Amino acid sequence: MIIGTAGHIDHGKTSLVRALTGVDTDRLKEEKARGISIDLGFAYLPAPDGSILGFVDVPGHEGFVHNMLAGATGIDLALLVIAADDGVMPQTREHLAIVDLLGIKHGIVALTKTDIAAPPWRDKVATDIRQALNGTGLSGAEIIPVSTVTGEGIDELRDRLFERSRAFGKRAGKGRFRLAVDRSFILQGAGTVVTGTVLSGTVTVGDRVVISPSGLVARVRSIHAQNRPCEQGHAGERCALNLAGEGITKDAIKRGDVVLDPELYAPTERIDATFRLLASESKPVGQWMPVRLHHAAADVAARIVLLADEPVAPGAEAFVQLVLDQPIAAAAGDRFVLRDTTAQRTVGGGQFLDLRAPARKRRTPERISQLEAFSLSDPERILAALIERAPFYTDLSAFARDRALSASELESMTQRIGILRVQTATADLGLSPATWMRLKRNLLAALESFHAANPDLPGIGLERLRLQLDPRLPAPGFSAFLQGLARKSEVGLDGAWVRLPGHEVRLTPADEKIWVKLQPLIAGGERFRPPRVRDIASILAIPETDIRRLLKLLGRMGKVDEVAHDHFFLRPTVSEMVEIAFDVASQSDKGEFTAAQLRDRLDNGRKVAIQILDFFDRHGVTLRRGDIRRINKHRLDLFRSIDIGKSSQASSQSGRESSPVGRPDFKSGRDRESVLGGFDSLSLPPRSRSVS
């Protein structure tokens, strides 16, 4: 169990810890010279049951409240120290408010200096203390009179702490590892050592960890937990970690950093939270108010963004967004405290709800509904509520990361709730069974309606289909969802088109006969330099208009692409040319190539090579500057077929608009016809836009 002292300056916190443990926690020369605690002090007390009680002794001076806050996070029991001769003082009230804001519910009041206070005065002070505790998490806490001079009550207090430790038990080692750093120093013969309280999870000698927010990677060489050498450190323990790694020095790790499991590394600087303004404040909190944010051992500047129309009144609680000047490592559900920018008073505090708060649309009814779900008491209830609210899906991997949940905890949680999962290379989306079925019904109904209106088209484009469905999944998730349906033959995927399994566009018998004769002319060895429409018409002795009409139809069916006017290539050939262009670019250190280099690889003329590259330029596959081109990797799959066995390709355009192939609303270009369901040679690619 971790015990943290709290109370006004010179009320005997350090003396009391020394009387209980035999350890003087004032370690700094200045502390001994001035007779006050300036920084955090630490001591340990072995219990009869073999466990170790850890003490965090905090300074009481108003000028060092920021140091007090660095040690207050992660304590299990508050030891509120109040001198019998002074009674409740200003820092007593501020420390008590901080303890309450941090959600600490267990505490004992030590009424010190009883040797210089008469019994009637003690009784009056005890009454004042009970009144001060009312309405806080320590309401009703036991008051034990003690004196470090006469020894009165010291044994009783020590025994009571042992009782509380036994009742409190050992914290569950659930979740992933996080340790809030409050000291970083060099130990002769060992190297860099950091100390702090383990907020969650377990760490083992040899583990690889990350320092957040800096991102430095380290290896745990050795561990001291509760002042004893150990192979493991657990949640709720004071730990010293001997770290090694590139860039790991005393100065590279500072108070406020968090040593954590690499899976948790995701610093944040914009957080939605619940915020309670202390009733002692004289005026409401307005929009964009500057504050100091204290979380774990971190202390950073921040601004308060109100998510309601009215200012937050003293004593009231509201949803706010905290915009930080620099990123911190945190977890949803963590407590925080806000102080004014002059560091003279505590303003209020609350609990983090969402570490990935949006910068826009942060006050919409949909967003407020999500925050209400985030406000529920435990992760399982939060997750169950989120999937029932717009947008009706949740990124499970991000949900687990931001709450320091282990993979097994997330798996158990999703099974109990009955969540269905859509996994991509970058996300793991969770939907309720009802939402899954609604999305599937809407998708099949949309396909049926499209086929009825466009019987001659092979299907609808992925992005157009995604945008008309409710709920609207992100593009990678929607692709993965489609692939799941395709594996069960509930939909068909042809290139960039989606169709019902039974839908098929067929050529007329007459067109089929022409296609059988025409296809060999643009395939095989001539595939990179196929004849044009007029040449095909001459070879087959068929009117040019008929050849052009058939090739246009085949373009809508995704079998050919019109690379230049009246110059059609087979779709597999276009895909092959994309791969060749990529390979040519990869041979250059700068990833650049010329038309001549592509011409040589395709073994065709310069004019045809330039036409091919112009086609790629129009569709964003290549990026041109003068005579030099580069490959746009984000558009490489524009002409590839979707492999329903792999989700990586479907997720490769995360955050970007998918291929325009198959978009019936796509305009083919100046003075050219609209091409339903596809695009022709001179069509320009749509400008990239963000789609929510």
**Predicted confidence (pLDDT) per residue in 591-612, tens digit:** 999 999 999 999 999 999 999 9
Q: Is residue 557 over pLDDT 70?
A: yes
The one-letter code for the residue type at 173 is: G
Helix (H, G, I), strand (E, B) or coil at 461: strand
Confidence class for position 193, pLDDT limits 50, 70, 90: very high
Q: Is residue 43 over pLDDT 50?
A: yes
> Is residue 483 situated within a structural domain?
no
> Is residue 677 situated within a structural domain?
no
> Is residue 686 situated within a structural domain?
no
- pLDDT computed for residue 674 by the predictor: 32
| Measured distance CA(183)–CA(200) in Å, rounded | 18
Confidence class for position 685, pLDDT limits 50, 70, 90: very low
Residues 21 and 68 in one domain: yes
> Is residue 500 situated within a structural domain?
no
Confidence class for position 577, pLDDT limits 50, 70, 90: very high
Residues 554 and 577 in one domain: yes
- pLDDT computed for residue 321 by the predictor: 98
Q: What is the CA radius of gyration of the chain?
A: 34
- pLDDT computed for residue 172 by the predictor: 63
Confidence class for position 553, pLDDT limits 50, 70, 90: confident
Q: What percent of the chain has pLDDT over 90?
A: 73
Q: Is residue 315 over pLDDT 90?
A: yes
* Range in 37-46, 204-213, 413-422, 500-509 the model is least confident about: 37-46
Per-residue pLDDT averaged across 421-434, rounded? 94
Residues 163 and 95 in one domain: yes
Q: Which of 200, 234, 264 finishes a domain?
A: 264
> Is residue 689 situated within a structural domain?
no
Instruction: Say if residues 374 and 382 touch (Cβ distance below 8 Å).
Output: yes
| Measured distance CA(133)–CA(185) in Å, rounded | 38
Residues 539 and 559 in one domain: yes
pLDDT in tens, 156-177: 999 999 999 998 877 666 899 9
Confidence class for position 239, pLDDT limits 50, 70, 90: very high
Q: How many CB atoms lie within 10 A of CB 127?
A: 11
Buried b (16+ CB within 10 A) or exposed e, 185-208: eeeeeeebbbbbbbbbbbbebebe
> Is residue 671 situated within a structural domain?
no
Residues 528 and 627 in one domain: yes
pLDDT in tens, 478-499: 999 999 999 999 999 987 789 9
Q: Is residue 23 over pLDDT 70?
A: yes
Average pLDDT, the chain: 88
The number of distinct structural domains making up the chain is 4
Pairing of strands 428-431, 492-494: unpaired
- pLDDT computed for residue 550 by the predictor: 93
- Name the region of 553 (left: φ>0; alpha: ψ -120 to 50; beta: rest): alpha
Residues 12 and 81 in one domain: yes
Instruction: Say if residues 91 and 7 touch (Cβ distance below 8 Å).
Output: yes
Per-residue pLDDT averaged across 585-595, rounded? 93
Pairing of strands 52-57, 2-6: parallel
Confidence class for position 260, pLDDT limits 50, 70, 90: very high
- pLDDT computed for residue 344 by the predictor: 85
- Dihedral pair phi/psi, residue 380, rounded to 5°: -65, -45
Residues 283 and 252 in one domain: no
> Is residue 210 situated within a structural domain?
yes
Confidence class for position 406, pLDDT limits 50, 70, 90: very high
Per-residue pLDDT averaged across 375-382, rounded? 95
Strand partners, 184: 194
Per-residue pLDDT averaged across 255-281, rounded? 97
Q: Which one is predicted more confidently, 649 or 112? A: 112
- pLDDT computed for residue 669 by the predictor: 36
Buried b (16+ CB within 10 A) or exposed e, 69-88: bbbbbbbbbbbbbbbbebbb
Confidence class for position 458, pLDDT limits 50, 70, 90: confident
Residues 214 and 291 in one domain: no
> Is residue 670 situated within a structural domain?
no
Q: 570: domain CATH number? A: 1.10.10.10
Residues 588 and 527 in one domain: yes
Residues 110 and 254 in one domain: no
- pLDDT computed for residue 639 by the predictor: 76
pLDDT in tens, 513-542: 999 999 999 999 999 999 999 999 999 999
Per-residue pLDDT averaged across 240-258, rounded? 96
Pick from 336, 333, 335: which is nearest to 383 by CA? 333
| Measured distance CA(672)–CA(682) in Å, rounded | 8
Residues 513 and 622 in one domain: yes
Instruction: Say if residues 327 and 301 touch (Cβ distance below 8 Å).
Output: no
Q: Which one is predicted more confidently, 21 or 681? A: 21
Structure token pair of residue 91:
């820092």
Q: Which of 168, 192, 223 finishes a domain?
A: 168
Domain of 187? 178-264
- pLDDT computed for residue 173 by the predictor: 67
* Range in 81-95, 208-222, 451-465, 556-570 the model is least confident about: 451-465
- pLDDT computed for residue 207 by the predictor: 97
Q: Which one is predicted more confidently, 671 or 398? A: 398
| Measured distance CA(521)–CA(547) in Å, rounded | 12
Q: What percent of the chain has pLDDT over 70?
A: 89
- pLDDT computed for residue 507 by the predictor: 82
| DSSP annotation string for 378-438 | SHHHHHHHHTTSTT--EEHHHHHHHTT--HHHHHHHHHHHT-EEEE-SS-EEEE-HHHHHH
Sole residue written with tokens 């970690």: 241
Per-residue pLDDT averaged across 432-443, rounded? 97
Q: Is residue 650 over pLDDT 60?
A: no
- pLDDT computed for residue 657 by the predictor: 34
Confidence class for position 665, pLDDT limits 50, 70, 90: very low
Q: What is the pTM of this model?
A: 0.76
Q: Is residue 357 over pLDDT 90?
A: yes
Per-residue pLDDT averaged across 298-310, rounded? 96
Residue 684, CA atoms < 13 Å, CB-side half-sphere? 7
Q: 184: domain CATH number? A: 2.40.30.10
Residues 528 and 610 in one domain: yes
Q: Is residue 477 over pLDDT 50?
A: yes
Burial of 90 (0-12, 13-18, 19+ CB in 10 A): exposed
Pick from 337, 348, 322: which is nearest to 66 by CA? 337
Q: Is residue 343 over pLDDT 90?
A: no
pLDDT in tens, 1-16: 899 999 998 898 889 9
- pLDDT computed for residue 676 by the predictor: 33
- pLDDT computed for residue 60 by the predictor: 58
Q: Which of 130, 146, 168 finishes a domain?
A: 168
| DSSP annotation string for 622-639 | EEEETTEEEE-GGGGGGG
